[in-house]
Amino acid sequence: MTGHPVAYSRSVITELMVPSYANFGGKVHGGTLMSLMDKLAYVCASKHAGNYCVTVSVDNVQFLRPVEVGEVVSLMGSVNYVGKKSLVVGIKVIAENLQDGVSKHTNTCYFTMVAKDVDGDTAEVPQLILESEDDVRRFCSALQRRRIREEGVTFMDAYKARFTDHFAVTELLASERCILAIENTG
Ligand SMILES: CC(C)(COP(=O)(O)OP(=O)(O)OC[C@H]1O[C@@H](n2cnc3c(N)ncnc32)[C@H](O)[C@@H]1OP(=O)(O)O)[C@@H](O)C(=O)NCCC(=O)NCCS
């Protein structure tokens, strides 16, 4: 299986934020932006994989600034990393006010997608050809995020397994803004 350069699957979606996208506060609904990001992640991942891809997880979703109705949102996506059957698509979101020409970066997040073959089984993806310093930096960063996520899963599994330690729970919550209103069964 041969590889593809990052540029092969780099894609952009541009969309006008119409009034029906607004939430009760009059700003663009976060779910609308999530849906656009998911579509773009699908396009980039499926183009690289040459297969149908599904979303398995999303990292670093933060809405740093509100997006206004009437602004034009551009989402730029590229495959940052490939594993054996998974790919990470990095997405940068920019919102532009067409009247004053001011653009703002509203968020950058990372979609992990998994390729599937025609039978619905997970499928191997082509390698990623890194042609620039940015390509290498993004691939290495995704590798680090993957390691941190895997360590986090191991940590939380171990934590949940020893959650019956009531003394540790009471100590942990002592300075938190909650009121323990359960019987101490320890
Ligand atoms: C994605 C899915 C096929 C993975 O199944 P699985 O049995 O864990 O598959 P595998 O163990 O073969 O792992 C395949 C890859 O997915 C990655 N993966 C699995 N779970 C993951 C998670 N929670 N986060 C990030 N990556 C994950 C694995 O690390 C592996 O990557 P690699 O091949 O690059 O090493 C399965 O979880 C699924 O079908 N989920 C539903 C996806 C979906 O329907 N999405 C639409 C949203 S509703």
Write out pLDDT tens, residues 108-137.
999 999 999 999 999 999 999 999 999 999
The answer to whether 110 touches 144, Cβ cutoff 8 Å, is no
The atom number, within ligand 1, closest to the CA of 85 reads: 33
In a domain, 74, yes or no: yes
The atom number, within ligand 1, closest to the CA of 116 reads: 3
Tell me the C-alpha distance between 121 and 132, whole Å. Answer: 33
Which residue has tokens 């390509």? 135
In a domain, 110, yes or no: yes
Predicted TM-score (pTM) above 0.85: yes
Tell me the C-alpha distance between 27 and 66, whole Å. Answer: 6
User: What residues flank ligand 1, with Cβ below 6 Å?
Assistant: 54-57, 83-86, 112, 114, 122
Write out pLDDT tens, residues 59-105.
989 899 999 999 999 999 999 999 999 999 999 999 999 999 999 99
Domain count, the chain: 1
CATH code, domain with 99: 3.10.129.10
The protein residue with its alpha carbon nearest to ligand 1, atom 9, reads 122
In a domain, 23, yes or no: yes
Residue 72 sits in which domain range? Answer: 4-129
Write out pLDDT tens, residues 35-63.
999 999 999 999 999 999 999 999 989 89
The atom number, within ligand 1, closest to the CA of 153 reads: 23
Tell me the C-alpha distance between 43 and 53, whole Å. Answer: 9
Tell me the C-alpha distance between 40 and 35, whole Å. Answer: 9
Nearest CA among 72, 64, 75 for reference residue 95: 72
The protein residue with its alpha carbon nearest to ligand 1, atom 44, reads 54
The pLDDT of residue 1 is above 80: no
